[in-house]
Amino acid sequence: MKRSIFLKYSTLLVVLLSLFAITSNGQETLTISGTKFTYPLIEKWISEYAKVHSELKITLVQKSGNAKVADLNIIAHQPAKEELQENQEIIYAGRYALLPATNQHNSIFAALPKKGLNKKELDKLFFEVVNYDDEAKVENPKFTATIYSRENQACSSIALAGYFGHVSSEIRGKKVTGDDIYLLTAVKKDSIGLTYNNLGYLYDVNSRKLKDGLALLPLDLKRDAKDVLTGDLDNVIATLEKNKIETIPVEKFGFIYSQQNERKEVSDFLRWVLSDGQKYNHQEGFLNLDKEVLAEQANRLNEKFLTLK
Amino acid sequence: MTKLPLFWGNYKKFPGHAVCKIGILSLLTLLLNLTGYAQQLEIRGKILDEGSKLSVIGATIKLKGLPGGAVSNVDGDFHLTAKTLPVTLVVSNIGYKYQEIDVYEAEPITIFLSEDQNRLSSVVVVGYGTQKRSDLTGSISSIPLELKGLPVVSADRLIQGAVSGAQVTQSTGQPGGGVSIRVRGGTSINAGNEPLYVIDGFPVYNGDATVDAGVTSGPSINPLSGINPADIESIDVLKDASATSIYGSRGANGVILITTKSAKKNSFSINYDAYFGVQRASKKIGLLNAEQWGSLKNDALKDAGKVPFYTQEQLGQLGEGTDWQAAAFREAPIQSHSLSISSGNDKTRILFSGNCYLQDGVIINTGFDRYSGKLNLDHEVNKNFKLGVYLNGSVTHADVAPGGIVPNILSIVPVVPVRDASGTFTSNSSYGSTVANPIATLTLETNETNTTRFLLNSFGEYKIVEGLTAKISLGSDIISNKQNKYLPSTLYESSPGGNASIGSLSTLNWLNENTINYKKRIRNKHSVDILVGNTQQKSHTEIFTAGASNFVSDAFTYNNIGSGTILGIPSSFSSDWVLQSYLARINYGFDERYFVTLTTRADGSSRFGKNNKWGTFPSAAISWNASNEKFLKSITQINSLKVRFSAGLTGNQEIDPYKSLARLSNYQYSFANALVNGFATSSFANPDLTWEKTAQYDLGVDLAVFENRIQLTSDIYYKKTSDLLLEVPVPFSSSLSSAFQNLGVVENKGVELGLKSSNLKGKFEWTTNFIFSANRNKIISLGGASYFFVTDPASTTTLPTQIIKVGESVGSFYMYQTDGVDAVTGNQKYKDLNNDSKITQDADRKIVGSSQPKFLASITNNFKYKKFDLSVFVNSSYGNKNFNWTRANLELGTGYTGAVATLLNRWTTANTVTNVHKAIENPAVTISDRFVEDASFIRLKNITLGYTFSKRVLSKAKITAARIYISGSNLITWTHYTGYDPEVNTNGQNSISSGIDRGNYPTAKSILGGISLSF
């Protein structure tokens, strides 16, 4: 009997050690975590990077799990001062645009102004500001709608609110947890649902067309920007990269890294993202950084990691 | 689960096939069950406060449309199960915005709740509107939340120790009794000094006479006691000219804005608050017992060369005698029940509340009852037009302690019993001075005041275009006061056959206000708020009194005056006043950094002379929100820093309505041995009589640091009041002794500090609120005169105790100074200030102190641990003096009346080294600094321990919130003052006779148990 137990434990130990050996296998690892709506692009980068750097294993980890110990954290809003620790820096890797979307059967279209919604009208529709100068009164929106947004601390909520001069707690309506993709699920189920979402989720990245069941809210756009609402994903991206459109928030996203644990693998990966990786941005529905900003990121990266070169 | 190993190993080795079958079936069942459990998805999460990132305890999380739910624990964690995803979580917690959250993944979620910012915490009520607290330019203090729930009878008592710069004096312990408030010192000498109260937009002057028909004797009842404190949402005290000049001629003494609760949109709630308790007199004064008094009597007689009253044997038999204080005082119950129902939808909000407050006094047969109701209704007719009605109705009844009853309780001699052998009340004690039996008086005399008051304000507001609104409001304050007094024939102090008097006061005060308000934000940089308006207010008061005596029977009491055989002289009186005003205010803010407020109000008042009916009261103020400057934004430790400065002119019109006119009064003259009525001049015309004008300057700083954990507000101010409405002596040859004129100057200057700190956060919370105020009052000029003496209204025949003198403060005590006791004669010695070897009124009196405190300070500490909360509120006053008339009388040592225990240490031939004079039948001078006592005190004003029940427990009983508490008020007072209470003012709101104690109704200490329920 004793021998049998000894054999069982020995076998288990050998299996575990083998597994460890396989995972180690001389391969360095890099973990990334953060804003989920960027994951399709990050995954693309990881797979393409793996083709040229098989010695590095990059994994995406759940934000709620080991976010703090991930080597790189994705951020997709302008951080408040206290959000970054002293030794943390951001290297931006791209941009994303937020478009207002709704259920394609929403009857709101008939009530909307013909020329589309301007920034002020969007503001009133999506945000609720208690007028403290007056009796506790909330200005009611003109249209009946359920607004869906991510929770107040989510990047897209902060970016959206910030663009309109609000804080995220002033976004009306319901919150959705998990991922921005669920905002579209909610809107598809709710005929009066409205939301904002990024191009990568709004459009089918293969067909480059808007996903079924969704419609974009008409926006008050100048003639040269009309393609944003009528064209396919590539047209939208091209237009947004060319123009600054008042009714459409565009925000940068990037990686937060800590200078405390500087690793060559990190700088190599980021350098690749800022060069070769950029060509996948459009494919996944993201905008490229302006040339100057991109160059600045590369420079900063070089400065920060100079010692590791 | 433990049986599972049965299925491992050789199947054939099982004891029997049947067992095997059962085992397989069991496994299948278990697997099915496990499948069932697998379908129960667990949703775990954490609820955090969005601002502080601290856990939110007690938030309710429900699955929308499904049964069950969870409550977040002390770490903010919760978990619940759902069958499928997605689900919608409904998260709610008091003080936070309600949230609906769709959950699509079973991964742990973090929910950040944002505060449902209470409008009143971010917004402060200002005159004719509200303003963001961060935009304020003026000095405004609000009652902190934790002190709003104190169990008090009237709203003004909530201000005591709660805001800097306001001195609240409870002038009597009589239930429902009056309160006197000075905001930044008294600006006036002869005119009213009470602040203006604005209750739901209706301005009310809270003079004690407002609800006093003039028949009931004893302490006045507070006119504000008709409002249930539980109905109050906020109390804001406006202090500087920037804040008060919008009330122009009534702003000089500060303005107290009281806003009552309204229903919230899209909510329904029922709230019930109740407390029960018991009160007792906070102190008994040490008096001589019967034997000690007998000895004193003997000594006084011996000193006068008379035969002692008692033999030594008789003295021994006197024993303790009657403890009149014990006979008069009692443990008195107090209870209050408030029920409010509030309901609101998008268009209409309605709140109805009712209150029943029953308080027995600590003196027998005294008390105060209130039944009040409130209705607040707001309705949005359409998006541009809204209406509102705020109505408070109350019926109050007070059994008032008759005037002089406490001095009688103390001065009736202890050798007299309350009742004689037959059980009837002894009439009085008569051992040189006659003192009526106070227990008989309290038991048999009717001395009551009944007030019905309706305060109504209604408005219609129309939005003309975005930002521009016009508002018309119409309100009325209807007061009916009826007072009844009856002294039955059996009372010593009654006339033969009994004595009845009744009086009635009715006031109709109406108000119309029309304002136009324009608010605009321009390019998010400039904010403009312009208010213009016109108001008119009119008041009409009628009073009549009647009385009779010598009734056939006491049975009718005051209800059949016509049956009295001796009719008193009836009186009737009416008065009117009108105030018409135009007002304007501009608030301008630039970039949330610089703010300017310009205010002006022109008032036309009927009270003033025809040459000076109109006055204009302008003010200007600036503030700089430095924390919004770029260079300070980087200093994260500073959350807000604001510097304010204001200057302006406000007025005081609180004089009787006809003071500017020549008036005739009726006098009775004797012609040929018959009384005839005639009229003679009682006041001269003064067509130039006008407002007291107070110019005031205020410099203030508001600072919040370390995530708002330390908040400091500090002000320094200077107020100079000129054109005092002064009763100036005129030569007797004019036929009158005085005339009302605008003469003299008074200044007040001081510092105020409010410091609020959040000392500990987390599981154990501790916050502290510290308030400090110091005011210096000085008379600069009396229009040529250098001083005049103040006649004490409570005793116009005695030597004045106070003086109004240039260079000194109002409330200065002016009297002889004692110089010990003559060891040889045992007589009280007085200082001969001019060394003329004589003690004379003119030369040997001096100022020996003032009733004005050097500073006031209070501290409130609030602790919270889990479901328990503890609040400890201590307030104090330092440097103020009282003239203890009660002790002066009880220390005469005449043996005519009862006496204080200090006389045990009196001079005798065996006790020559003492500071207490001998027993003497004619002690002559008594008004000396010996009885000017230090009235500084530190008081444990309130301590409350509460427990809030967990929502999980309550949800079964459909209760949304429940708290129980035990509260103690006035439990300990540290003071050297020897009277009942250092906080005393026999003359109520009278400024120039403040700090005088003529045997006031003692303050009660109380223990209450309370419950608050919300459904």
- Mean pLDDT over residues B533-545, rounded? 95
Chain A residues within 8 A of B261 when measuring between CB atoms: none
| C-alpha Rg value of chain B to the nearest Å | 34
Q: Which residue has the tokens 């025949």?
A: B797
CB-CB neighbours of A19 under 10 Å: 10
Asked if B109 lies within 8 A of A178 by C-beta distance, the reply is yes
**CA–CA separation, B402 and B448 (whole Å):** 9
Q: What is the DSSP string of B656-695?
A: -TTTTS-EEEEEEEEETTEEEEEEEEEE---TT---EEEE
Task: For chain B, list residues whose CB is within 8 angstroms of any CB belonging to chain A.
Answer: 50, 86, 88, 97, 99-105, 107-112, 114, 117, 119, 122-123, 130-132, 264-265, 346, 378, 383, 519, 524, 529, 636
Which of the two residues, B636 and B277, has the higher pLDDT score?
B277
The two three-digit tokens of residue B314, written as one number: 């008789």
Does position A67 have pLDDT exceeding 60, yes or no?
no
Nearest CA in chain A to B122: A132
pLDDT at B37: 44
pLDDT at B52: 63
Residue A297 DSSP one-character state? H
CB-CB neighbours of A133 under 10 Å: 18
3-state secondary structure A160-216: HHHHCCCCHHHECCEEECCCCHHHHHHHHHCCCEEEEEEHHHHECCCCCCECCCEEE
**CA–CA separation, A238 and B964 (whole Å):** 65
Burial class (CB within 10 angstroms; exposed 0-12, middle 13-18, buried 19+) of B835: exposed
Chain A residues within 8 A of B92 when measuring between CB atoms: none
Select from B652, B802, B618, B662 the least CA-distant residue to B725.
B652
pLDDT at A180: 93
**CA–CA separation, B778 and B801 (whole Å):** 18
Does position A132 have pLDDT exceeding 70, yes or no?
no
- Contact by Cβ (8 Å): B125, B246: no
The answer, for A113 touching chain B at a CB cutoff of 8 Å, is no
Q: How far is C-alpha B299 from the chain's CA centre? A: 47
As a whole number, the mean pLDDT across chain B is 86
- Contact by Cβ (8 Å): B1009, B987: no
Element (H, E) at B458: strand B446-465
The answer, for A182 touching chain B at a CB cutoff of 8 Å, is yes
Asked if B104 lies within 8 A of A165 by C-beta distance, the reply is no
Residue A140 DSSP one-character state? P
The two three-digit tokens of residue B23, written as one number: 């085992």
Chain A residues within 8 A of B97 when measuring between CB atoms: 169
- Mean pLDDT over residues B17-34, rounded? 44
- Contact by Cβ (8 Å): B918, B827: yes
pLDDT at A20: 43
- Contact by Cβ (8 Å): B670, B677: no
Q: Which residue has the tokens 């641990």?
A: B865
pLDDT at B25: 45
Which of the two residues, B148 and B29, has the higher pLDDT score?
B148
Asked if B636 lies within 8 A of A186 by C-beta distance, the reply is no
Q: What is the DSSP string of B946-1000?
A: EEEPPHHHHHTTT-SEEEEEEEEEEEEEEE---SS-SS--TTTT-STT-SEESSP
pLDDT tens readout for residues A179-213: 999 999 999 988 889 999 999 999 999 999 999 99
Which of the two residues, B19 and B203, has the higher pLDDT score?
B203
- Contact by Cβ (8 Å): A177, A84: no
Q: How far is C-alpha B122 from the chain's CA centre? A: 24
Judged by average pLDDT, the poorest of A41-45, A186-190, B926-930 is B926-930
Residue B594 CB partners (closer than 8 Å, separation 6+): B622, B623, B624, B625
The two three-digit tokens of residue B989, written as one number: 């709101």
pLDDT at B804: 87
pLDDT at A22: 42
Chain A residues within 8 A of B378 when measuring between CB atoms: 135
Ranges of CATH 2.60.40.1120 domains, chain B: 4-113
DSSP H helices in A39-92: 39-52, 63-66
- Mean pLDDT over residues B36-56, rounded? 73
**CA–CA separation, B655 and B652 (whole Å):** 8
Ranges of CATH 2.170.130.10 domains, chain B: 119-260
pLDDT at B118: 45
pLDDT band at residue B550 using 50, 70 and 90 as cut-offs: very high
Amino acid at B219: P
pLDDT band at residue B955 using 50, 70 and 90 as cut-offs: low
Chain B residues within 8 A of A182 when measuring between CB atoms: 86, 102, 104
Burial class (CB within 10 angstroms; exposed 0-12, middle 13-18, buried 19+) of B549: buried
Query: Could you give the count of Cα atoms lying within 13 Å of B303 in the half-sphere of its Cβ?
Result: 23
Residue A58 DSSP one-character state? E
Asked if B112 lies within 8 A of A153 by C-beta distance, the reply is yes
Q: How far separated are the first and last CA of chain B, in Å rounded?
A: 46
pLDDT band at residue B148 using 50, 70 and 90 as cut-offs: confident
- ipTM of this complex prediction, to 2 decimal places: 0.79
Select from B995, B796, B759, B724 the least CA-distant residue to B881.
B995
pLDDT at A14: 46
pLDDT tens readout for residues B628-673: 887 876 777 888 899 999 999 988 888 888 888 888 888 878 888 8
Select from A79, A64, A68 the least CA-distant residue to A155.
A79
3-state secondary structure of B925: coil
Residues paired with residue B669 on neighbouring β-strands, in sequence order: B676
**Dihedral sign, CA of A85, A86, A91, A92?**
positive
Does position B395 have pLDDT exceeding 90, yes or no?
yes
Judged by average pLDDT, the poorest of A220-224, B417-421, B897-901 is A220-224
CB-CB neighbours of B976 under 10 Å: 10
Asked if A152 lies within 8 A of B108 by C-beta distance, the reply is no
3-state secondary structure B111-138: EEECECCCHHHHEEEECCEEEEHHHCCC
**CA–CA separation, B345 and B377 (whole Å):** 12
Does position B769 have pLDDT exceeding 70, yes or no?
yes
- Mean pLDDT over residues B943-947, rounded? 92
- Mean pLDDT over residues A252-275, rounded? 86
Backbone angles phi, psi at B570, to 5 degrees: -75, 160
- Mean pLDDT over residues B341-366, rounded? 91
pLDDT tens readout for residues B667-713: 878 888 888 888 888 888 888 888 888 999 999 999 988 878 899 99
Which of the two residues, B22 and B579, has the higher pLDDT score?
B579
Residue A282 DSSP one-character state? G
B119-260 CATH choice from 2.170.130.10, 3.40.718.10, 3.40.50.10300, 1.10.260.40: 2.170.130.10
**CA–CA separation, B251 and B285 (whole Å):** 41
Burial class (CB within 10 angstroms; exposed 0-12, middle 13-18, buried 19+) of A141: middle
| Domains present along chain A, CATH in parentheses | 29-96+252-308 (3.40.190.10), 99-250 (3.40.190)
The two three-digit tokens of residue B292, written as one number: 């000690």
Does position B499 have pLDDT exceeding 80, yes or no?
yes
- Contact by Cβ (8 Å): B285, B900: yes
Asked if B86 lies within 8 A of A182 by C-beta distance, the reply is yes
DSSP β-ladder status, B179-183 and B166-170: antiparallel
| Percent share of chain B, pLDDT over 90 | 47
CA angle A13, A19, A23 (to 5 degrees): 145
Does position B800 have pLDDT exceeding 90, yes or no?
no
Rounded to a whole number of angstroms, the distance from the CA of B634 to the nearest CA of chain A is: 9
DSSP H helices in B731-838: none
Select from B791, B811, B1014, B826 the least CA-distant residue to B914.
B826
CA angle B644, B646, B648 (to 5 degrees): 170
Amino acid at A102: T
Does domain B4-113 fall under CATH 3.30.565.10? My reply is no
The answer, for A153 touching chain B at a CB cutoff of 8 Å, is yes
